[in-house]
A = this chain, B = another copy of it.
Amino acid sequence: MTTSEPESKRAGEGAAPAWRPSGLVTLLTDFGLRDPYVGIMKGVLHRTLPGVTCVDLTHGIDPQDVAAAGFQLAHSWRWFPEGTVHVAVVDPGVGSGRAILVAEEAGHAFLAPDNGLLGAVLGAEARVFALDEDRFALPGKSSTFHGRDVFAPAAGALAGGLAPERAGRPFSGWLRPAAEAPVPSAGEGPIETRVVLVDRFGNLVTGLDVEQLALDLALWEVEVGGRRIPAGRTYAEVAPGEPLALVDSYGHLEVAVRDGDAARELNLGRGALLTLRRRE
């Protein structure tokens, strides 16, 4: 537990800021919607906390794609009210003895397996604990569906008022994915980045956080698949069927085709390399 924060000094009885649940629980999984797994988790949540409100973030993460789950949760959670519990279950190691993390940051709570998923989500100020699984597990816990048997009852407890730090023990050794290659300062070049996800519209979302780096796209040329892509601000700036590079709603560099599907039309997918070169 971090005790160096000013808030903890002001709190009367202890080190942690007060946990004020909103009654909302978000769910992000790789379960899909064809099976009733997500519905069953909601059943357990309602048993645990009558009146809970569940919001699906997405269940369309590709099976076992921990990196995509982390990316999507990282760009979603701040849009919810403080006091929301975010449950992310992409868990190829279920039943293997991996820990479950319970964390708190900026008044939000998180539950996810300790497999790197939260590495992209939490910042330096997050407080991270190892969930006391035995305390929350349903009787006869399965070896394959901890979303139902552990995550849902623990999420219900948090949404009902249990503070994250009371749901586990301090845990500093949790997994974070390897840091991305550092981006050169804005004065230099070229910058390389890769497509990290293809969304429903075929937009190619890259790992380059343009907003965070305060890059001015107008000063850069984007090249991908041997093709130079003009930079713009909105889809409507190019003709239908034409590609453009822009800052997407996550603040990342994205390549799109107006009224079209960039992944299909440019024949590019996850992992494709983009190069930005400073305009002359």
Binding site for B on A (CB under 8 A): 22, 24, 26, 28, 30-40, 42-44, 46-47, 50, 53-60, 63-64, 72-73, 75-77, 79-81, 84, 92-97, 142-145, 148-149, 199-201, 233-236, 246-249, 254, 258-259, 261
**Cβ–Cβ contact A58 & B46, under 8 A:** no
Collect the chain B residues with CB atoms within 8 Å of residue A144's CB: 234-235, 246, 248-249, 254
Known: A36-B76, A46-B84, A144-B246. 7 other contacts (CB 8 A): A32-B200, A35-B72, A35-B199, A36-B58, A40-B76, A143-B234, A144-B249
Count of this chain's copies in the oligomeric assembly: 3
How many angstroms from the CA of A33 to the CA of B39 in the assembled complex? 15
**Cβ–Cβ contact B143 & A80, under 8 A:** no
**Cβ–Cβ contact A44 & B148, under 8 A:** no
How many angstroms from the CA of A176 to the CA of B248 in the assembled complex? 30
**Cβ–Cβ contact A201 & B58, under 8 A:** no
Ordered by A's residue number, 29 sampled pairs between the chains whose C-beta atoms are within 8 Å are: A22-B50, A28-B39, A32-B60, A34-B58, A35-B199, A36-B57, A36-B58, A36-B73, A36-B75, A39-B57, A39-B76, A42-B55, A43-B80, A46-B53, A46-B55, A47-B81, A54-B55, A63-B261, A79-B148, A94-B236, A95-B234, A95-B236, A96-B234, A97-B236, A143-B246, A143-B247, A144-B234, A144-B254, A145-B249
